[in-house]
Amino acid sequence: MTTTPGDPTMTTAASPETLAHGSAGLEEHGAGHPDHRMFGLATFLVADGMTFAGFFAAYLTFRAVNPLPAGAVYELELILPTINTALLILSSVTFHRAGKALRSSDRDACRLWLLVTGGLGAAFLAGQMVEYFNLPFGLTDNLFASTFYALTGFHGLHVTLGVICILVVWWQTRAAGRITSTNHFGLEAAELYWHFVDGIWVVLYGILYLL
Partner 1 sequence: MTATLPLIPESPTLQPRGWLRLLSFSLDHKVIGLQYLICGFLFYLIGGALAGVIRTELASPISDFVSRETYNQVLTLHGTVMIFLWIVPVVNGAFGNYLIPFYVGARDMAFPRLNAVAFWMIPPAGLLLISSYFIGGSAQSGWTAYPPLSITTPAMGQVIWILSVLLLGGSSIFGAINFIATVLKLRRPGLKLMQLPMYCWAMLGTSILVVLSTPVLAGTLILLSFDIIAHTGFFNPGQGGNVVVYQHLFWFYSHPAVYIMVLPAFGLVSEILPVHARKPLFGYTTMVYSILAIVVLGLVVWAHHMFTSGTPPWMRLFFTIATSFIAVPTGIKFFNWLATLWGGKIALNSAMLFACGFILNFVFGGITGVALAQVPFDIHVHDTYFVVGHFHYIVYGGTVFVIFSSLYHWFPKFSGRMLNDRLGQLHFLLTFVGFNLCFAPQHWLGLMGMPRRVAEYDPQFTLMNQLSSVGALLMAISTIPLLINVIWSLMAGEEAGDNPWNALTPEWLTSSPPPVENWHGEAPLVHEPYGYGVPPGKLDLASTSGRDLWSGGER
- 197/88 Cα distance (integer angstroms): 9
Contact between 160 and partner 1 per CB under 8 A? no
Kindly compute the dihedral angle of the four CA atoms of residues 124, 125, 126, 131, in this order, to the nearest 10 degrees: 90
- Helices 107-134 and 79-103 sit at what angle, rounded to 10 degrees? 160
Q: Hey, which bits of the chain come out as E strands?
A: none
- 156/52 Cα distance (integer angstroms): 12
Judged by CB under 8 A, the chain residues 90 through 109 that form the site for partner 1 are none
Q: Could you tell me which of 36, 38, 34 has the C-alpha nearest to residue 189?
A: 38
Residue type, 140: T
3-state SS class at 174: coil
Residue 1 C-beta: closest distance to partner 1, Å: 7
Contact yes or no for 203/124 (Cβ under 8 A): no
Question: Which span sits near partner 1 by CB under 8 A: 39-47, 125-133, 189-197, 202-210?
Answer: 39-47
Contact between 16 and partner 1 per CB under 8 A? no
User: Which CB, 39 or 171, lies closer to partner 1?
Assistant: 39
Residue 135 C-beta: closest distance to partner 1, Å: 15
- 100/170 Cα distance (integer angstroms): 14
Contact between 207 and partner 1 per CB under 8 A? no
Residue 61 C-beta: closest distance to partner 1, Å: 5
The site string for partner 1 over 58-87 (x = CB under 8 A, - otherwise) reads x--xx--xx--x--x---------------
Pick one of 35, 83, 105, 136: the residue that binds partner 1 (CB under 8 A): 35
Residue ranges binding partner 1 (CB under 8 A): 1, 6, 8-12, 14, 18-20, 22-30, 32-37, 39-40, 43-44, 46-55, 57-58, 61-62, 65-66, 69, 72, 139-140, 142-143, 146-147, 150, 154
